[in-house]
Chain A
Amino acid sequence: MTVAGSTSVEPFAELLAEEYMRLHPGAYIYVQGGGSTAGVEAARSHAANIGMSSRSLLPSEKDLSAVMIARDAIALIVHPGNPIRNLSLVHVRDVFSGKIKRWKEVGGPDHPIVLVTREEGSGTREAFQKFVMGKEEISLAALVQDSNGAIRQVVSGDPNSIGYISLGLVNEKVIAMEISGVEASVSNIENGSYTLVRPFLFLFDGEPSLDAKAFVDFVLSPPAQKILSKEGLVSILPRAAQK
């Protein structure tokens, strides 16, 4: 059985597939990347049994059925030495579009702001563009890194930098900022006050096959959801049900 699509979902799907194969020795699940759009195409053309997407379906893609397996938040990160810990959404937009060029303009030290962004085509960048930038363009002067880990590496080394990564990948070397005073935490995501949140979807064209259905049921079950929340995603189950 093949599961293909978003590279943001891929590592988590791989983890779940391994666990599933351990529990069901006869099963074999092959997980493949390619991006959310490739996931949509793979589901539609039946090239994969399950497509993966890290964004909501576009109106033109609504012919597919989607199952949300978890949610992921995008955190704005800065160096621990940066005194600024909170930015309004408007400020974030102005910083990333290049209108605000120095930390002084948002109440910080008089240093230039070093922007770090993902490359064109990345699902994380698309989500950031949609939630934060809207019609504005991310500055061409921004440094571009091709993974969450690379952005974290740059930001953890440069006190003047700011970037964005999956909340699950924030570690002690970087600080996740509050946005308009709202902390990026699981409870704030669950109650809807932190809004930089995107769904992780499994996609099917029509009814899933029996094998695929069994895997999806496993992914939605409490043990699998527990794995996902341990990896930093926001489970679709209320926390009480995971115990």
Chain B
Amino acid sequence: MDIKEKLIEKALLVIALSSITILALITFFIFEEGLPLIWKVGPRAFILGNRWVPSQGSFGIFPMIVSSFWVTLGALLLGIPLGLACTIFLCELTPRSVGLFLRPAIHLLAAIPSVIYGFWGLVVFVPLVRNYLGGPGLSILSGSVILGFMILPTIISISEDSIKALPRTYKEGALALGATHWQTIWRVMIPAARSGIVASIILGMGRALGETMAMIMILGNAVQMPSSFLDSARTLTTNIGIEMGYASGDHRQALFATGIVLFVIIMILNSAAIVLSRRRAGG
């Protein structure tokens, strides 16, 4: 019996290690393919350059970094208030019957493939922006709105967990001291669950930064520096997604290099989320 258990233990260890090995291989490969180009072009020219014309040897991804930032910010502006409102409603104000329906519906939102979000955005939302606000419709605004919806399940499920994990005494104590239900939620429960909520927002941000398919369909992918929310833009992920088909030589390496920049940004965000959620567990 003991041997059997040991064997299973070892087998599980190997499986766990293999998934980490694959992660390490991916990381190694991205850096190995992309770094030579960054050195060739120069890190400053690559990251801060404004022109992306691979056929002429111009590899500047600054407009894409800026666009990624704007699109993500827009998504958060929509996703945070909506997500928090949903969380509060789900945790504290939902009648049981509505919650039974609402919670699975929100989880379903996470299960919809991104290409469907993209298609819906392209067919329904983009024409609205084009007709009522002007510009090509394929724009940062459209992308932000669609992404805002896409990150809702991430924000809601994680922040809901963190509110549910609060000791009952917090709520009971506040109510016993004469606070109204709303004061209890806003002054006691939200601040107490803050680190979990912040972690959920950072994970949502990571999701927004990494989204590719829907953004290829909605953002229009122009390589210029966007000057308004109605301009078309290209993010780091869509740059890789849209050009990998035919890229070869330096162009291909430049796409991997774009991946390195994205990788570093996502790593920083995820580490921040881990640190913040650890703090919650400790406190």
Query: Which of B66-74, B86-94, B220-228 forms part of the interface with chain A?
Result: B220-228
CA distance A84 to B35 in the complex (A): 48
Determine which of B55, B126, B130, B221 lies in contact with A144 in the assembled complex, contact meaning CB atoms within 8 Å.
B221
A119 interfacial contact with B, CB 8 Å: yes
Q: Which residues of the other chain, A, contact B247 by a CB distance below 8 angstroms?
A: 120-121
Q: Which residues of the other chain, A, contact B54 by a CB distance below 8 angstroms?
A: 120-121
What is the 8 Å Cβ interface bit string for chain B, positions 184-218, against chain A (1 contact, 0 not)?
00000000000000000000000000000000110
Determine the residue in chain B with the shortest Cβ distance to A33: B245
Considering the complex, which residues of chain A in the window 105-160 have a beta carbon less than 8 Å from any beta carbon of chain B?
Answer: 114, 119-123, 137, 140-146, 150, 153-154, 157-158, 160
Q: How large is the interface on B (under 10, 10 to 19, 20 to 34, 35 or more residues)?
A: 20 to 34
Considering the complex, which residues of chain B in the window 35-61 have a beta carbon less than 8 Å from any beta carbon of chain A?
Answer: 51-56
Given contacts A38-B248, A119-B242, A121-B54, contact A143 B126 (CB under 8 A): no
B248 touches A140 (CB 8 A): no
Q: Which residues of the other chain, A, contact B51 by a CB distance below 8 angstroms?
A: 140
Q: Which residues of the other chain, B, contact A53 by a CB distance below 8 angstroms?
A: none
B222 touches A140 (CB 8 A): yes
B55 touches A120 (CB 8 A): yes
Q: Which residues of the other chain, A, contact B132 by a CB distance below 8 angstroms?
A: none
Q: Which residues of the other chain, A, contact B136 by a CB distance below 8 angstroms?
A: 114, 143, 154, 158, 160-161
Given contacts A120-B55, A157-B127, contact A144 B245 (CB under 8 A): no
Given contacts A120-B53, A121-B251, contact A143 B222 (CB under 8 A): yes
How many Å from the CB of A17 to the closest CB on chain B? 21
Determine which of A37, A137, A157 lies in contact with B53 in the assembled complex, contact meaning CB atoms within 8 Å.
A137
CA distance A70 to B53 in the complex (A): 31
B216 touches A146 (CB 8 A): yes
CA distance A137 to B58 in the complex (A): 13
CA distance A161 to B234 in the complex (A): 19
With most chain A CB atoms within 10 A of its CB, the pick from B53, B54, B246, B251 is B246
A35 interfacial contact with B, CB 8 Å: yes
Q: Which residues of the other chain, B, contact A158 by a CB distance below 8 angstroms?
A: 130, 136-137
* Extra inter-chain contacts (8) besides given A119-B243, A146-B216, A157-B130, CB under 8 Å: A38-B248, A114-B136, A120-B251, A140-B51, A140-B222, A140-B223, A142-B222, A160-B136
